[in-house]
Chains A and B, each alone.
Chain A
Amino acid sequence: MTALFQRLMNIDRRWLYLLVGLAAVIPILLPLNLPVNVAQSVQDLYDRVESLPAGSVVLASFDYGPSTGPENDPMADAFLRHCLARDLKVLCIALYPLGGVTEGAEELQRAVGPLDPANGVLESTAFPGKFYGRDFVYLGYKDGGQATMRQMGENVHAVFPREYYQAPVTDYELSNQVRGYGDVSFVMSFATGIIGEWWANLVNAQYGTPVAVGCTAVSAPKYFAYYKAGQMFALLPGLKGAAEYEYLVKQKYGQIAEATAADVYNAGKGWDVQSIVYTIITLFIVIGNVGFLLERRQRRS
């Protein structure tokens, strides 16, 4: 028995990489649709969006780049679709330097369909009757992180004099209407690293604006402290949070998800892989620990 565990502990790590690689590829080709249990921190965001009256404005901040896209993209996608399905207005910005601006533009277009405001293409194909500038708008990226958030509390237009497609922000109804945090119902940050934390400890603490964060899994343990303390009213932790939120949205607005999700990376597919790979990793951690304990007992005796 000990010899078997010792052999498993000395296995070349490249065999494990190959095993994890296969576990990642096979469920993508043959989706399993494993069940999803919704956590309270995710349910809180869904309930808040459901409870807002039509026409309310929310601020969505794309505070991530392509490096964490697999976690943040599906949650941003489900959130944008949910807001538009509920007739909410979404003002989008980006605060992450490495790719945040393009990530925001791509994600918005993935959710609402191709746009070209510079050439007058303003209507969403995914949500007919919803228009760029009136129902959703993208102000683009601004450098500065905390300083930018601080100044947005005083005057959004001074921070973003032009929107992403270079038109003055005052040209569009929605961006003209929002001057400060008092004009939005809540802030939703799709964040990598520390940026989501800034929204809580700067904007929520100093302006009282409700904040929700969709963070990467790496940041989740720290962010739960903010959620438990009420500084974030909701939290989507990593791909797991994205899968849960996507599940809730699909449950109620299935027709929207079905009509537009063909080209969208969905979190449910990723969750299948995550579950299987996690099981393999857990199994090897258990084998490693049991092997270590057996080896120690053998050495002592």
Chain B
Amino acid sequence: MASELWVWVGALFTLCILSFLYKDNPFFRFAESAFGGISMGYYINLTFRNTFVPNLIAPLFHAGPAYSAATYPTREPEHWLLIAPFLLALVLYSRYVPKIAWMSRFALAVYVGYYAGLNMMQKLQGEVLPQSADTIRSFWRFLPERLPIWLDAQTRTVSWGEWISSLVFVIGVLAVLVYFFFSAEHKGVVGGVGRLGIWFLMISFGAAFGYTIMGRVSILIGRVIFLVDDWLGLG
């Protein structure tokens, strides 16, 4: 058995949460509320100490628990620029005073604009283009002149496995796209291909479901190891 107080606290909270498997009860709700409250308090404190103080208060005011003259010996011109985000952060709280609540919109506008700009580049350059390129590569492997059977072993650039994978990928992409194409009525060939698209979607949902169970079981394993090894000392 563990001799540390915090191991016992952790074990009792774990048992409180697991008790929900029997049925909803006050122990579970207590643990759930305590977790929510502690997490929020922890997050606020962490953000203040690790981000707000070293990146804003220390360079701007030369103060705060993390300040030292070695890190910020003088105020550089760029430090003065920090006044702008600091003021924008302050005006966010104007929402609590109805008469000046409109001021918070300036901060929100900057935040939304910055995030939209950052995300636009990121989604386009980091997701749309590379993922489209990879899909096109699969189409290219699927081309008849690249059929591995027509090439000898020395000139073969695509293995049988890759070629079959590309074939399934190409059929899957086309079928799913047809399923989501609503400008034509889903009957005849379009309906048939659309139904094949549903099968591809179901297989992908099944794979996602399998991985989700795996993740949840891993978390259970972590808790059981904690209870068996750290708390009871049986492992």
Contact = CB atoms under 8 A, between A and B. Distances in A.
B71 A17 contact: no
A205 B218 contact: no
Interface string A252-282: 0000000000000100011001100110010
Nearest to A192: B215
Nearest to B70: A168
A168 B46 CA distance: 18
Interface of B: 21-22, 39, 42-43, 46-47, 50-51, 54-55, 58-59, 66, 68, 70-72, 114, 118-119, 121-123, 125-127, 130-131, 133-134, 204, 207-208, 211-215, 217-225, 228-229, 234-235
A28 B71 CA distance: 49
Nearest to B129: A205
B134 to A, nearest CB: 4
Contact of A70 (B21, B207, B225): B225
Interface in A58-87: 67-71, 73
B133 A71 contact: no
A196 interface: no
A277 to B, nearest CB: 5
Interface of A: 14, 17, 20-21, 24-25, 28-29, 67-71, 73, 97-99, 101, 140-144, 146-147, 150, 158-159, 161-162, 166, 168, 198, 200-202, 204-206, 216-218, 220-221, 225, 228-231, 237-240, 265, 269-270, 273-274, 277-278, 281
B134 A24 contact: no
A161 B214 contact: no
Contacts of B223: 70
Mostly, the B contact residues are helix
B126 A202 contact: yes
A98 B43 contact: yes
Which of B114, B126, B208, B213 is packed against the most chain A CB atoms within 10 Å? B126
Contacts of B222: 69-71, 73, 265, 270
A278 B209 CA distance: 12
B117 to A, nearest CB: 11
Given A97-B46, A201-B123, A218-B212, A67 B134 contact: no
A237 B211 contact: yes
Nearest to B50: A141
Given A29-B228, A142-B50, A146-B118, A217 B211 contact: yes
Given A29-B235, A201-B127, A274-B221, A71 B215 contact: yes
